Amino acid sequence: MKPWYYADANRQQLQTTEDQLPMLIQSGVIQTSTPVWAAGMPAWTPAGQALPQLFSSVSAPPAPGLPPAVPQAGAQAMPTRSHQVDYEIFGDDLQIIEVELDPGETVIAEAGAMNYLEQDIQFETKMGDGSQPNEGFMGKLLAVGKRALTGESLFMTHFTHRGGQGKRRAAFAGPYPGKIIPINLGEIGGEITCQKDAFLCAAFGTQITIAFNKRLGAGFFGGEGFILQKLKGDGMAFIHAGGTVIKKELKGEQLRVDTGCIVAFSPGITYDIQRAGNLKSMFFGGEGLFLATLQGYGTVYLQSLPFSRLADRILANAPSAGGKSTGEGSILGGLGNLLGD
């Protein structure tokens, strides 16, 4: 059943199924002005425009005490919260991204991701992403605690254009060879779930939080554990992946993937694991004991070279770490090492 998403009075995104929509409309939970979105729609749209056939049979007014509809801003279903930044990506397999900032605009990034800054850009390390400016101390402490569960730093760096005029650029790069993926969160339902170390930088206003994998099998054997990273907002976010990146659009079908090759997936995609064939294939096929299964309606990003695979190959050929030197494939490799000592 195709999933649908709608926003409540606090602009929180809630998920339902297509067969539940009539009941939510009849009860007044979803009104004509309520923002809704489903896979295939270009943006959040008022329910009255997206689902006119369901409102034609509704005659009773909304039940008292239900939350009011989310205020609209022109043709947009939800007001813009994130800063609107421009960007340019350079390179092929060792990419770098320049984020262009107007005066007063801010980009947030993981600690250590910055390469260089143009004049008038100042940076400050803060607890959290700054997406909830009115949040109290305990709320901020809880937010950074969630980040600690993903293995990331408790702090994030905020880069702001403090000059009076003109555009300035800040550059960021990933920690290992790969691609930088630009994602407009406003075009994919306002959020995306990704692997724990995928986030690179994003426009200010983007919320970086965690998502718990509720399936035991996926948590134990899915390669990413029970905790994934979730990015929420309506602006640009940038994630990093290893090797070559493949973008897949699923329309209800199932995709089986090596557990380490998943980078990110949009709302409407379910994530689980299944056994990799029979016992002989599991133990001698070289593909691991389990495969990840992705199914639903939405977008999936895959990577060809997970960092764990790259690190394993490097360690296997590093004598200081217990690996074996291959001598660069030369029969004189061992002799060269002796002469070099």
pLDDT mean over 273-297: 65
pLDDT of residue 77 exceeding 80, the answer is no
For residues 68 and 90, state if they share a domain.
no
User: What 3 state SS string does 82-105 have?
Assistant: CCCCEEEEECCCECEEEEEECCCC
98 or 189, higher pLDDT: 98
Residue 16 pLDDT grade (very low, low, confident, very high; cuts 50, 70, 90): confident
Phi, psi of 248 (to 5 degrees): -120, 135
* DSSP 8-state symbol, 299: E
Measured CA to CA in angstroms, residue 290 lies from 30, 40, 254, 271, 283 at distances of 40, 31, 15, 13, 10
For residues 203 and 61, state if they share a domain.
no
Give the model's pLDDT for residue 235: 92
Question: 26, 48, 78: which is the final residue of a domain?
Answer: 78
Any domain includes 211: yes
Any domain includes 276: yes
pLDDT of residue 179 exceeding 90, the answer is yes
Which of 11-25, 61-75, 159-173 bottoms out in mean pLDDT, i.e. has the lowest?
Answer: 61-75
pLDDT of residue 289 exceeding 50, the answer is yes
Residue 280 pLDDT grade (very low, low, confident, very high; cuts 50, 70, 90): low
142 or 218, higher pLDDT: 142
Give the model's pLDDT for residue 316: 76
For residues 68 and 92, state if they share a domain.
no
**Count of domains in the chain?**
2
- Check residue 65 and give left, alpha or beta (phi > 0: left; psi -120 to 50: alpha): left
pLDDT tens figures, 214-243: 554 444 444 444 478 889 999 999 999 999
Average pLDDT of the chain?
77
pLDDT tens figures, 144-177: 665 555 555 667 899 999 988 899 999 999 988 8
For residues 72 and 134, state if they share a domain.
no
Which of 56-70, 118-132, 246-260 bottoms out in mean pLDDT, i.e. has the lowest?
Answer: 56-70
Number of neighbours of residue 325 by Cβ within 10 angstroms: 12
pLDDT mean over 190-195: 90
Question: 78, 94, 113: which is the final residue of a domain?
Answer: 78
For residues 267 and 302, state if they share a domain.
yes
For residues 56 and 144, state if they share a domain.
no
For residues 166 and 283, state if they share a domain.
yes
Query: Within the chain, what is the greatest distance between any pair of CA atoms?
Result: 90
Give the model's pLDDT for residue 81: 77
**C-alpha closest to that of 197 among 307, 82, 96, 89:** 307
Any domain includes 74: yes
303 or 315, higher pLDDT: 303
Give SS3 for 125: strand
Give the model's pLDDT for residue 210: 80
Give the model's pLDDT for residue 63: 45
Residue 65: domain span? 1-78
Any domain includes 138: yes
For residues 166 and 278, state if they share a domain.
yes
Cα separation of 269 and 24, whole Å? 22
Q: Any idea what the CATH number is for the domain that residue 281 is in? A: 3.60.160.10
Residue 123 pLDDT grade (very low, low, confident, very high; cuts 50, 70, 90): very high
For residues 220 and 272, state if they share a domain.
yes
Give the model's pLDDT for residue 23: 79
Give the model's pLDDT for residue 60: 47
Give the model's pLDDT for residue 64: 47
For residues 162 and 261, state if they share a domain.
yes
Q: Any idea what the CATH number is for the domain that residue 11 is in? A: 3.30.1490
Say what percent of the chain tops pLDDT 70. Answer: 69
For residues 249 and 170, state if they share a domain.
yes
Residue 66 pLDDT grade (very low, low, confident, very high; cuts 50, 70, 90): very low
Residue 275 pLDDT grade (very low, low, confident, very high; cuts 50, 70, 90): low
Give SS3 for 317: coil
Any domain includes 27: yes
pLDDT of residue 117 exceeding 50, the answer is yes
Give the model's pLDDT for residue 138: 63
Give the model's pLDDT for residue 113: 92
pLDDT of residue 83 exceeding 50, the answer is yes
Give the model's pLDDT for residue 56: 74
Give SS3 for 210: strand
For residues 135 and 43, state if they share a domain.
no
128 or 265, higher pLDDT: 265
Give the model's pLDDT for residue 320: 64
Give the model's pLDDT for residue 246: 94
